[in-house]
Amino acid sequence: MLGRGVWSSLRQGLSRGLSRKVGGWASGEGRKMDIAGIYPPVTTPFTATAEVDYGKLEENLHKLGAFPFRATQATVEMTVSMAQVGADAAIVVTPCFYRGRMSSAALIHHYTKVADLSPIPVVLYSVPANTGLDLPVDAVVTLSQHPNIVGIKDSGGDVTRMGLIVHKTGRQDFQVLAGSAGFLLASYAVGAVGGVCALANVLGAQVCQLERLCLTGQWEDAQKLQHRLIEPNTAMKQRAAPWEERMCAAVLALCMPSCLTLHSVPPPVPTLGTHSGMPGTPFCCLGCGLSHPRSGLMSPYCPA
């Protein structure tokens, strides 16, 4: 679920002044909802005094760990309840039980019912590495015509598929988001409008810079930065369990655009991979060659 203010704050903070035109649509112009931009999948709550609210963050992490894969009616109920507490949109993952029966028709039926009954816009979510199921392109094209479905987060990494979706939905009010920073540049090149990237929870400033370079046509610099982001992105996927990714983001005390300075007391740098017995490696020392400013938009504290 995407909380109120996350969409609007990130769009205003990260993409102000940048122009984009995909499939005949100018940035945000006439859309049901503009979902372009970079989004960290785990946000950091703050107190009224702009301090990281660690109590609320711990509470949120426990809730994230309890979210199940739900049937259609349960998905509708959860979407409605999230809308009631202020979510602006819902990212709805593909159901993955009885995968052999999850035909295009079954998935279209599922998402159509959810979108029909959801009081907030729906974003499709295809993540085959975790569900074993890829939302078929023909189903995406059909669902793109639904008035309450505004886009898809595609984490499969198949850039050809993403480009085909952009092409086939070009006449619809429908947007494509990359599901990883590992193929973000390629996604922009084929018409994606942004990404929901776990790496943005740790290297937010660099991921947002990659977005800016792509949107302003600085492809050579974008390519260099994309190459430098691949190693830390791969390290997060290979060496960190999902829970550790969330805790890494929490310990690094990330900032949202409304708070331009970090927590006053620099937190310790976590290690990755200790859950599997591998030697722990400080994330800031993975050899990616990236700079780690001590302040700025969504930048983690990292000792020299």
Q: How far is CA 12 from the centre of its chain?
A: 17
Asked if 239 and 273 touch (Cβ cutoff 8 Å), the reply is: yes
- Give the integer Cα–Cα distance in Å for 251 and 242: 14
Give the max Cα distance, the chain.
54
Asked if 198 and 175 touch (Cβ cutoff 8 Å), the reply is: no
Beta strands in the chain (DSSP E): 2-3, 21-22, 25-26, 37-39, 87-93, 122-126, 149-154, 175-178, 194-196, 271-272, 281-282
- Give the integer Cα–Cα distance in Å for 243 and 67: 13
Look up residue 36 and give its two tokens.
């372009």
**Residue 153 designated active-site:** yes
254 Cβ contact list (under 8 Å, min separation 6): 40, 44, 201, 202, 204, 298, 300
Look up residue 56 and give its two tokens.
């609320």
Of 32, 56, 63, 153, which is the active-site residue?
A: 153
- Give the integer Cα–Cα distance in Å for 290 and 293: 10
Q: Which residues are catalytic?
A: 153
